Amino acid sequence: MENNELRAVIKHFYLKGLTPKEIKAELDEVHGTSAPAFATVYNWNKRNHVINSEAGLTLFRCNPVEFLHRYLTVGETWICYYAPVTREQSKQRVFKGDPAPKKAKTVTSPGKVMATVFWDARGIIYVDYLAKGQTINGEYYASFLHRLS
């Protein structure tokens, strides 16, 4: 298979949301020993990221204000089920001769949840809480984007 054809196949898998490792596995399955090395797949995948970033910069340079109003970004954070009290918050004034106040022993969080937040220039658009046992992958993001539209 020629380099141009391989690049097209890798780009196709990249656009489908596959990771370089998954792309390499697909190519190995079809082409066996003639498949490109993982480093080649990784570098072409990286090049696709650069091309997409440059396209975004071009759009930004054309009309920065409009671009920023349409630009959507995502962030993820863990949220604990309890709010731990800091040492500063738990301090109390004790008068001479009074016993020290009893403090509850801090225990580890009984649980936490992953919150995925989408926002733009105007503020938060959508918050999603990851179900227990679910992992964040391309399929999760695809369904997430479908719910946003």
Count of CB atoms situated within 10 Å of the CB of 79: 11
**Mean pLDDT of the residues in the chain:** 84
Does residue 20 sit in the same domain as residue 54?
A: yes
Does residue 60 sit in the same domain as residue 7?
A: yes
Residue 58 has pLDDT above 90, yes or no: yes
Instruction: State percent of the chain over pLDDT 90.
Output: 26
Does residue 36 sit in the same domain as residue 81?
A: no
pLDDT band at 87 (very low <50, low <70, confident <90, very high): low
Containing structural domain, residue 31: 3-64
- What ranges in the chain are assigned the alpha helix state H? 3-15, 20-31, 38-62, 64-70, 87-90, 138-148
pLDDT tens profile 67-84: 988 888 889 998 887 666
Does residue 57 sit in the same domain as residue 79?
A: no
Count of CB atoms situated within 10 Å of the CB of 56: 12
Range of weakest confidence among 36-45, 101-110, 113-122, 131-140: 101-110
Predicted confidence at residue 103, as pLDDT, reads: 67
Tell me whether residue 94 is exposed, middle or buried, using C-beta atoms within 10 angstroms of its C-beta: 0 to 12, 13 to 18, 19 or more. Answer: exposed
The more confidently predicted of residues 6 and 64 is 64
Does residue 144 sit in the same domain as residue 78?
A: yes
Does residue 34 sit in the same domain as residue 91?
A: no
Does residue 48 sit in the same domain as residue 95?
A: no
